[in-house]
């Protein structure tokens, strides 16, 4: 028995729905989810898949479809024999059938020299994005009333930086194949470092932002099928505005690009780490066209050598990855069990961008359209003088964004 992700092959939701008018409010989410679900219900290939799976489950107990939450991705996660997968390929030629595969944490370089307190100089990442000077000039934004889903290894919500910041924690139950409420805990340590940079009391960009803790990659490894289900589940969380993702496949998976589009279509911004393997290396989902992909800079405002980058060409259309960069080398944040460590990775840069996005959403009371928020991030960047492929639009700046 194998697990497969099954969805229409050629259908493009992004081309069919007007993504530019999607918003982040709870009221907008409900209407936007309904529109996307209706889009799939009217798609003939999607209906063919539903009919085929229904008949197959009647014919054999060996075909089992995983629970469906919102239906926004247009994808079905199915466990079945390989012969059944071959049969659906033959009978439904317009269907994409992707065998499940691991999705892994984008591993940072971890400095194990733990500090109990940080100096002002060790909070350099807040200076690099001009947040400190903005605060000195009267900026009072904190990310209040904004919620970010951190799809990671879990979060140690008892850390002093994060107390009261994690509203709920969820994990995927392998037995029931469902996303279920769980206690807040970090299975690796990575998610706690990421969470601190979003909303830590001292190290965070948006200290009043709330977090939904989603354990996508327990101990650093999950499955692509679980990732699809997490996106489907997120659509029903009307409080979630941004998804922060520091995991991926070590290649470009074109099959996932339309799936990421569905997040934008329901009013959730995907902010994704591009990877730590340097030039000409990127990760999915960061390299999908709708992701805000994030590379890393160092203390000297130069792109870090490990920061991933590349040009993606699909269907006669090319774009550069990452979209922008943020501090990601030698960045201090909270670590599991208490204290702070300086880590290197695009996983450190990504939550900084998520935090800035939360500040913009707060300013506009979540009324800003999805694509305007992306433009707000990209047009706020400082040109570092690198090739576009390495820096994207440049180093994110709070003052320009706000």
Show which residues are catalytic: 152, 190, 347
Task: At 244, give phi and psi (nearest 5°).
Answer: -100, 120
Task: At 377, give phi and psi (nearest 5°).
Answer: -70, -45
**Does the bond joining 122 to the residue before it have cis omega, within 30 degrees of 0?**
no
Q: What share of the chain is helix, strand, coil (3-state, %, to 5)?
A: 35, 25, 40
What six digits make up the tokens of 193? Answer: 């470092």
- Which distant-in-sequence residues (6+ apart) come within 8 Å of 89 by Cβ? 95, 97
- Which distant-in-sequence residues (6+ apart) come within 8 Å of 106 by Cβ? 246, 247, 248, 273, 275, 276, 283, 345, 346, 347
Q: At what angle do helices 257-266 and 224-234 cross, to 10 degrees?
A: 20
Report how far residue 256's alpha carbon sits from residue 5's, in angstroms, rounded to the nearest whole number: 10
**Alpha helix positions (H), 200-300:** 224-234, 257-266
Report how far residue 231's alpha carbon sits from residue 280's, in angstroms, rounded to the nearest whole number: 27
Alpha carbon dihedral 320, 324, 328, 331, in 10-degree steps, equals -170
């Amino acid at each position: 028995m194998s697990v497969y992700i099954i969805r229409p092959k050629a259908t493009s939701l992004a081309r069919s729905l007007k993504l530019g008018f999607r918003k982040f409010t709870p009221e907008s989410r409900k209407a936007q989810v309904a529109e996307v679900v209706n889009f799939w219900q009217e798609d003939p290939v999607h209906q063919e898949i539903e009919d085929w799976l229904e008949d197959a489950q009647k014919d054999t107990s060996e075909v089992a479809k995983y629970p469906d939450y919102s239906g926004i991705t247009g994808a079905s996660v199915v466990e079945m024999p390989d012969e059944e997968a071959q049969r659906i390929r033959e009978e439904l030629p317009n269907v994409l059938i992707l065998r499940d595969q691991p999705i892994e944490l984008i591993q940072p370089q971890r400095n194990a020299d733990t500090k109990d307190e940080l100096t002002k100089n060790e909070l350099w990442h807040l200076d690099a994005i001009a947040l400190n000077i903005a605060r000195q000039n009267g900026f009072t934004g904190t990310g209040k009333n904004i919620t970010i889903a951190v799809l990671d290894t879990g979060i140690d919500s008892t850390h002093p930086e994060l107390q009261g910041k994690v509203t709920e924690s969820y994990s995927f139950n392998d037995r029931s194949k469902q996303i279920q409420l769980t206690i807040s805990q970090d299975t690796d340590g990575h998610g706690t470092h990421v969470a601190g940079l979003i909303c830590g009391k001292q190290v965070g960009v948006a200290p009043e932002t709330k977090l939904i803790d989603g354990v996508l990659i327990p101990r650093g490894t999950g499955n692509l099928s679980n990732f699809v289900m997490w996106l489907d589940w997120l659509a029903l969380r009307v409080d979630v505005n941004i998804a922060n993702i520091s995991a991926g496949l070590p290649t470009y998976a074109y099959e996932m690009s339309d799936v990421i589009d569905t997040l934008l279509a329901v009013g959730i911004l995907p902010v994704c780490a591009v990877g730590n393997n340097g030039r000409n290396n990127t990760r999915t989902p960061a390299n999908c066209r709708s992701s805000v992909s994030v590379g890393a800079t160092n203390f000297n405002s130069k792109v870090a050598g490990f920061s991933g980058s590349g040009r993606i060409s699909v269907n006669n259309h090319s774009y550069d990855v990452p979209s922008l960069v943020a501090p990601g080398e030698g960045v201090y944040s909270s670590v599991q069990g208490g204290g702070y460590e300086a880590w290197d990775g695009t996983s450190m840069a990504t939550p900084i961008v998520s935090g800035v996005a939360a500040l913009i959403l707060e300013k506009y009371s979540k009324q800003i359209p999805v694509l305007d928020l992306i433009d707000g991030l990209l047009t706020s960047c400082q040109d570092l003088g690198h090739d576009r492929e390495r820096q994207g639009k440049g180093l994110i700046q709070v003052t320009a964004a706000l």
